Structure 1
Amino acid sequence: MKVVLKSIQDKLATIPALKYVDEDWGQLDDYSPHPPTQFPLALIDIGSLQYSDIGRDRTATPQNRQMATGTIVISIANLKLTNTSARAPQTQKNQAWAIWDIVESVHAELHGIVVGGSAGAMMRTAMRKVKRDDGIQEYEVTYTIGVSNV
């Protein structure tokens, strides 16, 4: 999975709008009001993996081979310092809506790509808003991935 996470990080690092791209080790948890990051950001984590046995290969280590299907979660966050009220100045609204451009850029970089190793293509399967009370606007985008012969 190290190859998968590193490959995703390398892909996301090409998005100019992202100031911080890293594995999610809790940077947005319990650090309010000053998380150890820059904004906007993308954090990468393995949501879950389920393994199934596919047989034995006596030439490999370990000999028992498996397939895995699971999720990769990309947390995309930005400080939301302005609102998008209908009467707000347009430049203010543009700044407040910026996270959606980043979500789309992340999707354009990741959806359908093969991220290396024995992993298949990443396919977006879900997105959810994370409710926060600290001015950070956060969305989690979930991708499904398959890994063979592990």
Structure 2
Amino acid sequence: MNTVIENTQNRLQEIAGLKYVDEDWGQLDYYSPNPPVKWPCVLIDIANASFSDVGKDRNKTPQNRQMGDEVLSLTVADMRLTNSSGRAPLLQKNNARSIWAIMEDIHAKLQGWSATPMSGKFMRRSRQRIRRDDGIQEYRLMYVFSETDA
């Protein structure tokens, strides 16, 4: 999983608008009101994995080989300091909605991409808004992929 997370991090760092891309170790959960990130940010984690047996290879360790169906979780967040009401200046409204363009850029980078030679292509599964009370605008993107150790 280290390689999947590292390669995904490197790929997302190519997006010019992102200021912080890292593994999710609770930066947005435990450090309120000053999370140790720069805005906007993406935090990467493997949210879930299920495994099935695909056979044995006596020349490898472990001998029992498996395939994993895995879920990559991306937390996309930005500090929302301005409103986007109908009478707000256009530049202010565009800045307030910039997280949507970032999520589109992330999708363009990851959809159909493989993080390692032994993993399948990332396919988007879901997007969920995370409600907060501290001015942080947060979404969770989920991508599924398969990986084998065969």
Q: Which residue of 2 aligns with 1:143?
A: 143
Q: Distance in 2 between matches of 1:27 and 1:33?
A: 11
Aligned residue number for residue 60 of structure 1: 60
Whether the aligned pair in 2 keeps the contact of 1:126 and 1:143 (CA below 8 Å) is yes
Distance 2:11 2:149 in 1: 24
User: Which one is further off, 114-123 or 59-68?
Assistant: 114-123
Contact (CA 8 Å) 1:4, 1:117: kept in 2 or not? Answer: no
Q: Which residue of 2 aligns with 1:5?
A: 5
Q: CA deviation at 1:20?
A: 0.2
Give CA-to-partner distance per residue, 1:29-86, whole Å, 9 cap, x none.
1211100010000000001000011110001110000000010001100011111111
C-alpha contact (below 8 Å) 1:3/1:117 kept by paired residues: no
Rounded Cα–Cα distance in structure 2 between residues aligned with 1:115 and 1:32: 32
- In the TM superposition, structure 1's runs of 4+ consecutive aligned residues that sit over 6 Å from their partners are none
C-alpha separation between the residues in 1 aligned to 2:133 and 2:31? 12
Distance 1:30 1:133 in 2: 14
Give the Cα–Cα distance (whole angstroms) in 2 for the partners of residues 146 and 83 of structure 1.
Answer: 40
User: Which residue of 2 is the match for residue 48 of structure 1?
Assistant: 48
SS at match of 1:134: coil
Q: TM-score normalised to the size of structure 2?
A: 0.98
1:140 match: secondary structure: strand
**Equivalent position amino acid for 2:35 in 1:** P
Residues 1-150 of structure 1 mapped to structure 2, 5 A cutoff: 1-149=1-149
Residue 117 of structure 1 deviates from its aligned partner by 4.1
Quote the sequence identity (%): 47
Distance 1:106 1:78 in 2: 14
Could you tell me the TM-score, scaled by structure 1's length?
A: 0.98
